Structures are given as structure tokens and as C-alpha cells.
Chain A
Amino acid sequence: MSDIILKTEGLTKHYGGVHALEDANFEIRKGEHVAIMGDNGAGKSTFVRQITAVEQRTRGKVIFDGEEVDFSGPLDAREAGIETVFQNLALADDLDVPSNLFLGRELRLFNLGPFSILNNRAMRKATEEGLKRTGVKIPNLSNSIRNMSGGQRQCVAIARTATFASKLTIMDEPTAALGVQETAQVENIIRTLKESGESLIIVSHNMRQVFDLVDRIVVFRRGRIVANLKREETDGQDVVAYITGAKTGAEYEGAA
């Protein structure tokens, strides 16, 4: 078995006439942390949505953990081992922290199909453990998350990915709305993931963060991948040149 955890071949998504993602060839090794950068509307979130089967791709292949996969929905992807923090967080405001963490895969006391009895105690306990592991502190777990700060909500979304064993974690702009302290907190969680050997794809606009955290930077521009850069072999200016279109990676010539 190869050590490639995820690979896409010719991944493409069109929304009617909008070519949001075009022919993306991407790969990430086990334990590797990769950043996806690019301007607004470059297709980063679209890429994430195709991998996680939130949307169905127009064409292309997704190979996860050595096998070609065709997830029918986000739950499939989660069950296969892809945990995602979506850009819009995907939290239900009126539910409390444990309910949000386990949304869509609640623990059951008795299985009665849709009327299965929830195992609230076990979910609460797992939530406490998950939060402890990520160092996230939430004052009161049984409050609905509506009244939580942006940072706390973000941490709930991130703790959700950390609570479940996964093979690949994807975070779409996890620190976009956060203050300095909260950003540091999230970055610490990401370092923990690195130490425990988990693979990560992080979408970010923050150059410092990217250079602090990841092994490799992939640049998207207008729906296409235009660069694939090792962190040690590049610098901020270089990356900006690719993002803005001043430069295009040698192997991607003619693509954009």
C-alpha cells in the first residue's frame, strides 16, 4: 500500500456555466500537512466540498486510502475517515455542544431506527474528553451554542473533528474570524495533530500561519491548481506571485 492518503485526478466541478474547479490533480501523504491557498473565489471550498461529497463532482477521480471512492454524501466521507471543518462551520445554533459534536452520528442506547434512544451521558463524556484533548475550554456544555463567541464556535467545530479518529482532517479557513488568542489556540490544535501523525489539509489566507504549520503549499487560481510548493523551497513573495498570477508553476504551464 502506498503512503498517499488522498489523491484526486482531474477533479472538476461546474455550477452551470461557472467552472469553479477544473481538472485538479492533488495528493497528500500520510501525516503530511498541506495548505491550500488562493484568492477569494479560487475554488478552494469547492475542492473541499467535492472531496467530502457535500456536492457531487462533475467529473474526476478521488482516491482515498488506496481505493477509488465515490461517497454518496458527507456521512460516507466521515465514516471513511475524513473529518472536515467547513468554512461555514456547519453547526446547529440551537443545539448544545455535545449534540453538535455528534450531529449525524449520535451514540445510541437502544437502536430503534429513527427513534433510537440517545446515549446523552456517553456523548457528554466523549465531548469533555475531546475538548480536553484539544485544550478547548467551553464554560457550559449544555448551553446552546447560539450565544457563544466566534472563537468558541470555531473550537467546537474543530473539537468535533478531533473527537473522532480520522485518517484525514480538512479545515476550511479555521481562523478566518478569530482573534489573536483564539488563532493561537487553533494552531496549537493543528500542531497536536501533526505530532500524532494525522494528515491535514488546511485552507488559509494567512501567510504566517501557513509557513508556521505546513509542509507543503498548493495554490489555486481561478479553479485550477497553479503551484505545488515545498515550504522550505519557497517564501511569502513567491506564494503571492502564484496567487496573483504573476507566476505559474512549471508543471502547470498552459493550465491557467
Chain B
Amino acid sequence: MAEAAASADIFGGRKKKRHWPPELNALVGLIGICIIFEVLGWFLRDQSFLGNTVRLKIMILQVSIIGIIAIGVTQVIVLGGIDLSSGSVVGATAMIAMSFAQVGTYDRAVFAELGWVDLPVIVPILVGLLCGIVAGLINGVLIAYTKIPPFIATLGMMVSARGVASWWTKGQPVSFPTDSFAALGQGMMPVFLFLAIALLFHLVLKYTIYGKHTYAIGSNEEAARMSGINVERHKVLVYAIAGMLAGFAALVLAARGLTAQSGMGIMYELDAIAMAVIGGVSLSGGRGSIVGTTIGMLIFGVIISGFTFLRLDAYYQDMIKGAIIVAAVVADQYRQRRRAMES
């Protein structure tokens, strides 16, 4: 019926244009990059890039933990904000939560004297989520109510949370978790956890009021306010959820490595932002999706694993990673300018 209305449109003129969703761009990019590495592989190393399932498994495992952070970061960016604190929140959360997950047979456990060892796995999980939520709440309140720019507020949290991570045990790593806690990070568990969280937030963003308001605020904050949305409260909620997801990523990361160190998660915030932006999430807010970020995450993973495959030095890897982030932002701005010109 919408098609029938088109012919009767009194405004006429304006041709219906098919808009190529950015997720599709990202998917094409992913396939293209895979092909490039495959071809380079045959030329330079005489072997298949995609044919090696072990490599692909390692790649997916590597990115899925940062992917969990990226799901929170996606929501923050869609809201029109940014979160630079997630990497440090991972560090602080891992240290604190791990202290509640240690086994009693380890006599140097953080809470050994208090007897807080061999606790049921739910305790460190709740502690971890709570740490993330608290960090996110502080970010959110600073941004929404004190009107501190998100960049500055979360930069402050980035520094402070890293401080918490070192202060907690005065720099000592926290190790030897219970088996049930370690299970969170073993085998392909991180990938399943990523998929479950991605699916959950895909649905939440698409089908709930929370999602609708997140897009509305990122799209036009003033309009959202005039429509009666409680913009401030919603911002706090989104930052708190992003913090919670960073906390959850910390749990998985610590469980996977069986240890927590104060330097964990350094630069993860930038990787997560890169995944989102590569996946078509617009830094100016209002646009992007979990599907896009997931594709962005895979692109990110394929590139890193492709460089390793081609035996590129880690130095070059970082340099190129930086260039990719900038390229994704440039592409986003190009898309916006083209849009502005069309309308």
C-alpha cells in the first residue's frame, strides 16, 4: 500500500532511492578483505588464509571479548556520546572481581584472611557487573547532569579506573580462580557469550523503547527532549549498560587468562570504538547497529590475523590499525556529507 501511495504523492519529484545500508558496505568490505588476504597468502606464503580453521578460531576468540565491549560502545556512540573508559574499566573490574573468585588452596589470595575464597561463581560475576555499572553510572551522571563533554568525562574515568586497577593489590596480579569461574573463559565460551549478548542487544535496540530513545537522542537531542523523553535519565542508563558490558568482558578475559593484572584491557576502548565505526556506526550519533558492529569486529579480527599470517611486524600492525580507524571515520564523514548534499 505504501507503493500505491508513492504514485499519488503530492510532493512528487523526489524519486525513491534505494539506500544501501552501511552494514552491507561493511559486509562487502569483510568479504573483500578476506579475498585479498587469501590471494596474498597464495602469492607470498603459498598457503590458504581462510582454509586454516585453527587460525580463524583464534581470531574469533581474540575479538569476541573486545566485541562484548564494542556492543556497549555502539550504544553509547548511537546515543551521540563516546566512551574512552572501557579499557580501564576492564582492568579495574578484572582485578576486583578476580579477588572474589580465588581458590582457598592459594594462601596468597587477596581475601584469604577474611576467608572469602571458593565463593560460588555468582559472587565474582555480580561483583564484576556491579563494578562496571558503577563506573558507567559515574560517566553517565557526569555527562547527563553536570554536562561535561563525554570525551572528557570518560577520559577522566579512563585514568581513574586504571588507578583503581593498580591500587587494588598494589600492582600484584590476582590469580588462581575457581574452576567454575575459569569456565567463563575456556574453549569457545567467550564466543558464545559474545553471540548471546549481541543477540540480546540487537533485539533490545530494535524492539524496545530503550533502543528507540537511544537512536532518537543521538539523532536529535533537542527533539527528543521536546517530545518528552527524559534525555538525562536515558543517558545515564546507556552509559551504565556500556559499563556493565565492559565489566562482563573483564570477567571473561580474566577467566580466560586465569589471572588479572592491572594493565589488562589497555587500548581496548579504541579497538572497540574502531569495531563500531568500521561497522558503520556513525560518530555523530543516531546511526549504527549491533549487526554492523559485529561485522566491524570480524573485519578488525581478519585484518589483525591477516597481518600475523603475512608475518608483518607488530609495529606495522599498530600503525596500520591506526590508519584503519582514521579511514573508517573519514568514510563516515564522507557518507554524512553526501547525505547532507542529497537532502
Contact = CB atoms under 8 A, between A and B. Distances in A.
A115 B210 contact: yes
Interface residues of B, number: 40
A116 interface: yes
Interface string A92-106: 111100010001111
B216 interface: yes
Contacts of B16: 139-140
A140 B2 contact: yes
Interface stretch (A147-155, A193-201, A234-242): A147-155
A115 to B, nearest CB: 5
Interface in B214-249: 215-216, 218-220, 222-229, 234, 237
Contacts of A106: 209, 212
A166 interface: no
A115 B204 contact: yes
Interface in A178-219: 181-182, 185
A108 B207 CA distance: 10
**B interface, over-half SS:** helix
A141 B6 CA distance: 10
Contacts of A128: 1
Contacts of A105: 227-228
A146 interface: yes
Given A147-B19, A151-B11, A92 B224 contact: yes
Contacts of B213: 114
Contacts of B286: 92-94
A117 B229 contact: no
Contact of B212 (A89, A118, A138): A118
Contact of B219 (A89, A93, A104): A93
A54 B225 CA distance: 8
A92 B219 CA distance: 5
Contacts, number: 121
Interface in B1-21: 1-2, 5-6, 8-11, 13-14, 16-17, 19
Given A74-B225, A91-B220, A92-B220, A147 B17 contact: yes
A151 to B, nearest CB: 5
B52 interface: no
A75 interface: yes
Contact of B222 (A84, A90, A108, A114): A90
A86 B219 contact: no
**Majority DSSP secondary structure for residues of A touching B:** loop
Contacts of B337: none
Given A91-B220, A95-B219, A146 B5 contact: no
A103 B209 contact: no
Nearest to A124: B2
Contacts of A114: 208-210, 213, 234, 237
Contacts of A95: 212, 215-216, 219
A133 interface: no
Contacts of A91: 220, 223
Interface residues of A, number: 46
A78 interface: yes
A114 to B, nearest CB: 5
A111 to B, nearest CB: 10
A117 B208 contact: yes
Contacts of B5: 137-139
A137 B16 CA distance: 14
B6 A140 contact: yes
A115 B220 contact: no
B11 A94 contact: no
Interface string B1-45: 110011011110110110100000000000000000000000000
Interface in A126-179: 128, 137-143, 146-149, 151-152
B162 interface: no
Contact of B339 (A90, A146, A152): A146
B237 A94 contact: no
Given A141-B2, A147-B19, A90 B226 contact: yes
8 contacts: A75-B229, A91-B223, A103-B212, A103-B227, A105-B227, A138-B5, A146-B343, A149-B11
Interface of A: 54, 73-76, 78, 84, 86, 88-95, 99, 103-106, 108, 112, 114-118, 120, 128, 137-143, 146-149, 151-152, 181-182, 185
The 4 closest A-B pairs by CB, nearest first: A75-B228, A104-B227, A104-B228, A94-B286
Interface of B: 1-2, 5-6, 8-11, 13-14, 16-17, 19, 204, 207-210, 212-213, 215-216, 218-220, 222-229, 234, 237, 286-287, 339, 342-343
Given A103-B224, A140-B16, 17 more contacts: A54-B225, A73-B228, A88-B222, A92-B216, A93-B286, A95-B219, A103-B229, A105-B228, A106-B212, A116-B208, A116-B209, A118-B209, A118-B212, A137-B9, A138-B9, A139-B14, A147-B343
